[in-house]
């Protein structure tokens, strides 16, 4: 018998709620902990996951696999071509390895919630307890309410409630430790030899592949894994956070921001770890402007997940604000193409779109400028821009992207 953790966008071993719960349950039951990642090609196609993000995912999985192997914990990557086979693939895998309890961190997009709910039900028939945990936000979505008891719809009051909630409830004081080594008595290396021996990760579908040259370049720009995320975070705290409040809105300044968004998206860094590190770096004083401004940006990420949970219609190609449902947008293919190629003739717009194509990342101020230019100047449907961002960004995240385009 075994207990398992199913990794999704939480590719780290420190401060990973579900992994920690699985580890504790395994210890209490006296059984080994094993891990799974489901690589579902159809889901990645349906969710427009960019080639750069998938490439980073594969590279992050390698780091994770190695880190877990040092703890005698195997990580198996299950490849699924069609999403309708995901559930059976998971149930079969659990059955094969004697998994009685499976843990995962919750994803709040509608498709994922439906998939998880179905698996909870199917698990009951297959003697598998499937437990899903809140993890990705500092404060779980939809928890905070305004004075009138309603979920917040505007960021500033949300932040005013979020920040004291975080300090008062000491959310950052008990981050989950990494799992410890599987007990030698389980002889995990032998029992799960097949899982440890998996040497190749899935090959991406043709339309999701980067050229070799691009892959090599992006691997240098965006090294994978939680050690790298931690190193980037430390550098940012030591060298740049003090000036963040003044410099974060200046795309002309190199490295004004942390460039940690690909790590938050992959889950190689948790939002809690980031806020805690910023708080501790500030050394117990009341937060100075730079630290405070950065923590506030991380709260934006929480806020947009909260919007997604409270207004799931945003997952269905609908506008967040109902009054914008029936706007008659223009569909000028030439204008759209020139926007995507950075050939509009407006230097800052073009520079931003070329940064997107080169580094698969764009400065926040520039994201705002090009988004505004697409829908308010070119009058094109914002959903085309939203889609293009997802198809290209290495940090593409549904909630932040969708909200960035319209909230
Ligand atoms: P920093 O300034 O160092 O901020 C630290 C972290 O706070 C970021 O990594 C991010 O997790 C969070 N954060 C900062 N600003 C925002 C914000 N406005 N909204 C939500 N979270 C924020 N962010 C994504 O992670 N994925 C996306 O797909 C995405 N699409 C966007 C689309 C549009 C149109 C706009 C306007 C913004 C979008 N953002 C997205 C938000 C923001 O632009 C990026 O998070 C930020 O540029 C990442 O750079 P950084 O890590 O250096 O941020």
Residue-wise pLDDT for 176-225, tens only, equals 999 999 999 999 999 999 999 999 999 999 999 999 999 999 999 999 99
- CATH number of the CATH domain containing 250: 1.25.40.80
Closest CA to 174 of 306, 292, 14, 281: 14
Q: Looking at the domain assignment, is residue 179 inside a domain?
A: no
43/62 same-domain check:
yes
Q: Looking at the domain assignment, is residue 196 inside a domain?
A: no
Asked whether the beta carbons of 360 and 219 are under 8 A apart, the reply is: no
Closest CA to 153 of 308, 317, 272: 308
167/306 same-domain check:
yes
Domain hosting residue 288, numbered range: 137-173+211-310
Stated as kind and residue range, the H or E segment containing 6 is strand 2-7
- The structure's pTM equals 0.98
Asked whether the beta carbons of 148 and 353 are under 8 A apart, the reply is: no
Rounded Cα distance between 70 and 249, Å, is 42
What lines the ligand 1 site, CB under 6 Å? 248, 257-261, 264-265, 297-298, 300-301, 304, 364, 367-368, 371, 389, 393, 395-397, 400-401, 404-405
389 alpha carbon to ligand 1 midpoint, in Å? 12
Backbone angles phi, psi at 148, to 5 degrees: -85, 5
Candidate of 159, 261, 305 to mutate for ligand 1, largest count of ligand atoms within 8 Å of Cβ: 261
- CATH number of the CATH domain containing 368: 1.10.579.10
Question: Which residue has a Cα nearest atom 43 of ligand 1?
Answer: 364
Question: In the listed set 247, 282, 310, which residue is the last one of a domain according to the structure?
Answer: 310
10/127 same-domain check:
yes
> pLDDT tens, position by position, for the chain (407 residues)?
999 999 999 999 999 999 999 999 999 999 999 999 999 999 999 999 999 999 999 999 999 999 999 999 999 999 999 999 999 999 999 999 999 999 999 999 999 999 999 999 999 999 999 999 999 999 999 999 999 999 999 999 999 999 999 999 999 998 999 999 999 999 999 999 999 999 999 999 999 999 999 999 999 999 999 999 999 999 999 999 999 999 999 999 888 999 999 999 999 999 999 999 999 999 877 889 999 999 999 999 999 999 999 999 999 889 999 888 889 999 999 999 999 999 999 999 999 999 999 999 999 999 999 999 999 999 999 999 999 999 999 999 999 999 999 98
Q: Looking at the domain assignment, is residue 202 inside a domain?
A: no
Three-class SS of 330-395: ECCHHHHHHHHHCCCCCHHHHHHHHHHHHHCCCCHHHHHHHHHHHHHHCCECHHHHHHHHHHHCCC
Q: Looking at the domain assignment, is residue 326 inside a domain?
A: yes
Asked whether the beta carbons of 7 and 35 are under 8 A apart, the reply is: yes
Residue-wise pLDDT for 5-30, tens only, equals 999 999 999 999 999 999 999 999 99
What's the mean per-residue pLDDT of the chain?
A: 96
109/54 same-domain check:
yes
Q: What is the ipTM of this complex?
A: 0.99
146/83 same-domain check:
no
- CATH number of the CATH domain containing 94: 3.40.50.620
Q: How many domains does the chain have?
A: 3
């Amino acid at each position: 018998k075994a207990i398992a953790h199913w990794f999704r966008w939480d590719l780290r071993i420190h401060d990973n709620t579900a992994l920690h719960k699985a580890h504790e349950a395994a210890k209490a039951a006296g059984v080994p902990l094993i891990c799974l990642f489901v690589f579902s090609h159809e889901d990645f196609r349906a969710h427009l996951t960019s080639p750069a993000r998938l490439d980073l995912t594969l590279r992050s999985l390698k780091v994770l696999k190695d880190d877990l192997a040092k703890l005698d914990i195997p990580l198996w990557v299950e490849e699924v071509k069609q999403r309708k086979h995901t559930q059976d693939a998971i149930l079969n895998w659990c059955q094969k390895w004697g998994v009685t309890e499976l843990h995962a961190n919750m994803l709040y997009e509608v498709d994922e919630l439906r998939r998880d709910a179905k698996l909870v039900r199917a698990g009951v028939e297959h003697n598998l307890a499937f437990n899903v945990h809140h993890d990705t936000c500092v404060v779980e979505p939809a928890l905070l309410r305004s004075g009138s008891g309603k979920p917040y719809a505007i960021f500033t009051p949300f932040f005013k409630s979020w920040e004291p909630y975080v300090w008062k409830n000491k959310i950052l004081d008990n981050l989950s430790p990494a799992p410890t080594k599987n007990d030698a008595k389980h002889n995990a290396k032998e029992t799960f030899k097949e899982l440890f021996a998996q040497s190749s990760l899935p090959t991406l579908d043709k339309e999701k592949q980067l050229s070799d040259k691009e892959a090599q370049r992006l691997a240098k720009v965006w090294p994978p894994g939680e050690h790298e995320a931690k190193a980037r975070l430390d550098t940012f705290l030591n060298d740049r956070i003090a000036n963040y409040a003044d410099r974060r809105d200046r795309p002309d300044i190199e490295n004004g921001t942390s460039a940690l968004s690909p790590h938050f998206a992959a889950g190689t860094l948790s939002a809690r770890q980031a806020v805690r590190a910023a708080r501790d770096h500030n050394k117990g004083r009341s937060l100075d402007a730079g630290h405070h401004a950065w923590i506030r940006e991380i709260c934006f990420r929480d806020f947009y997940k909260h919007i997604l949970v409270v207004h799931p219609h945003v997952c269905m190609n609908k506008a967040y604000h109902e009054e914008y449902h029936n706007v008659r947008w223009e569909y000028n293919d030439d204008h759209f193409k020139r926007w995507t190629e950075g050939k509009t003739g407006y230097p800052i717009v073009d520079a931003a779109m070329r940064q997107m194509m080169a580094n698969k990342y764009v400065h926040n101020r520039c994201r705002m400028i090009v988004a505004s230019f697409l829908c308010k100047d070119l009058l094109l449907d914002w959903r085309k821009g939203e889609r293009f961002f997802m198809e290209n960004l290495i940090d593409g995240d549904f909630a932040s992207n969708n909200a960035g385009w319209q909230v």
